[in-house]
Structure 1
Amino acid sequence: MFESVLVANRGEIASRVIHTARAMGLKAIAVYSQADADLPFVSEADEAVLLGPGDPARSYLNVPAVLEAARRTNAQAVHPGDGFLAESAAFARAVAGHGRVWVGPPPLVIARMGDKINSRNLMKEAGVPVATGVWEPVPDVRTAAEEAERIGYPVMVKPAAGGGGIGMGAAHDEETLREAYAAARAGAERLFGRSDVLIERYVPGARHVEVQILGLADGTVVALGERDCSVQRRHQKVAEETPSPAVTPALRERMLAAAVRAGEAVGYRGAGTVECLVDPAAQDFFFLEMDTRLQAEHPVTELVTGIDLVEQQFRVAAGEPVSFTDVTSRGQALELRVLAEDPQRFLPASGEIKVWEEPVGDGIRIDAGYAEGTAVTSHYDPLLAKLCVHGDDRGHALGRARAALGAFRIEGLATNLPFLRELLGRPEFADGTYDTGVVGRMRAPRSG
């Protein structure tokens, strides 16, 4: 096992990784921007290095600056967290090229899975179910219209690169297809430097369910259960839970087996996620993409299995055996993402946090990136904290989540806490029948 690790991220995920590193006796090294100098993760680390100004391109995405921080502190390993450079094959190669341990899957795996079209093709060859769609980039809007007719409306249009639901859009006819194609192509070029676009079948009323996998140092791939991530706004996740209320034991067995095949097909190592679209009516599923990193929603898996995923990442990266012998799931866990944003229109907010009071109690876990007196800026994702709860069953977990939300106080700027309370009170969420359209229905204009 290496003795020190640099955490190339910020906020709550940096705190999360630092917590496990220190618990394992590793020296934890943080990097930070000027805008984040007062955030908790900086003081929680054993050592911290200033990267640059608040602009991510000049700090957290500045590869030379991050590598120089690793050199200066003699960090033996680098953990990328769950954003910024976490899925950069070039960064992973650079870390290894500088003689440091990369805490993540091999760079070649990151590159192969980073292209959604390439990953679809690889998964089909591996026998993993994929949705009807294209097998190469769609070069123009005329071809897009032809492919949509072949696939059958509605279709989903998305950038072939990137992740997190960025740039995606559904099309129900040729007019909306043209709009979605133009938006996806422009977004892909601007955000990912590539204009490649993917089109595949869209399933109304579907659930977004993902499987947590872990590729071990000996080449074995294991599945640690599924997570339901269907509560989304602008195709970005807001709430997650495990196990999924929409997945039967038979479907779960098929999904976990397919996820293991997916990991084995690419030689996966470390923590990763196989994201799927589930048709509850047909009890069927299709591969969407593979996230070659630790997911923000990993705490729910940790709560039901008792397995520290960051610890396992460290162990695999060091070539050591993992700390568990089998995977057993107990109870129900939910994660609610507390965001600095307007709870009606979901527009990001910024400002100083005047009051920060976290709920406490049995089964409650808070992964926080901020504290009272710290400032939220416009430079980064609006995630403030992840409120996670665990209960004996889904009803128990929902009760704890409602109580915890009622006790969580953040003042000084707008947050989505009112929206989360509204979500838990919505009948379709309470009974587990919600789908990816739940937020749209909650915010649909009222007639009359």
Structure 2
Amino acid sequence: MRKLQADIESNMKQEPVRVRALGGTEHLFWLLDRNRAIHFALVAEIDRVFEPSVWHAALLALQQRHPLLSTRIVADSDAVPAFFRDPDARIPLRVVESARASWQVETAREMNTPFDWSTAPLVRATLLQGDDGSTLILAAHHSVLDGMGGAYVMEDLLSALAGGSLMSLPLVQPLECLLRAQMATATVPGAIAPAPEPKVFRAASGARAEVAALALSAQLTRAVVERSRIERTTVHGALAAAVHEAGRRLSRVWRERPVRTVSPIDVRRTVGGMGQANGVYITQTVTVDDRARGAPFWDAAREIKGLLAPAQTHASVVQETKALDAFMSSNPSVEDAAGFLSHMLAFDLLLSNLGREPVASAYEGFALKALWGPIVSSGFADDQVVGVCTHGGVLRLTQASYTAMPGLLDEVSAVLSEAVAA
């Protein structure tokens, strides 16, 4: 591992170089992050302890594999942003020996620490060392990675940690470049109707994120999966319905008006030919649930699945990408981007789901015990962000918020237990 690190370092003495312009979604996330920090984190727990030097070497190998993990963002005189690669940049690793604080507390600290987008790299790591295991928090600026991209990067990192060799990958291209031919003939969707009320952003300074986590039992996880199949819906649909019902039980505001939920949709399989690309390849779809507290659960879960289905088609991805490309080609300001988020999307809940087993469990010499996240914020003052990942047959939930709804995850678990038993 030391020889690998020395070889890599000897080949990286180069000047920073322009890589490419930011794509539409990358550009939008850059602007939104300048309004309020929206970076995200994933958390991996493994059953072995390694010296920090081994982690540093694995992180360095990861940067050699993925070009964007050594970049910063530079805006030219026209404010058009581009990635510039700094080969001498190293992913910083903060090590917490004999960690006493929970990973939730340390992750909240990461969420409260914005990235400097003008300094490479746009990724950082925190390592919590225990007596017989380790927890790694990987945080990333949202212009270089989305949640699934972060999961694929985490798997590469764990493979390198196990002594595996990582081959360098070609530079990932923006989504609109991959769809350029289809976008030429696609029609742009009609104007999006604004939300009934714009959302208020959290304070520019002083607001502090809170992070909570809950793992369902393997038995309840199986029951949710099996009952969702029987009810002709998806686990994501069931989870959305459960969060909506839980929120209505806990919040008067959620009981008095429809709940707006945004679900990031990974388009890698929809577009095809992308494999485990590590960039930003998502579209975002808002669903509105105006049901009353205690409404039939599985009806709500089926409706949410039906509302999301059209957005998952190839034609819809092309249309949405073309519309975003047209908006971003006007070179909007930070205020323009924030206004779009506040007036058009204006969601109460961000439900981000990594799906089932996004990362391998077994590695040479150790195992991944748990994967948590994505843990992220939209910038709104009162949004609730629920990250979902099913790993090792256990569905894990995280909650990130700057105005947390206390007890939300416990209530979600209770709603799901009631739903599968009914």
TM-score normalised by L of structure 2: 0.28
Which has the larger helix fraction?
2
Relative to the length of structure 1, the TM-score reads 0.27
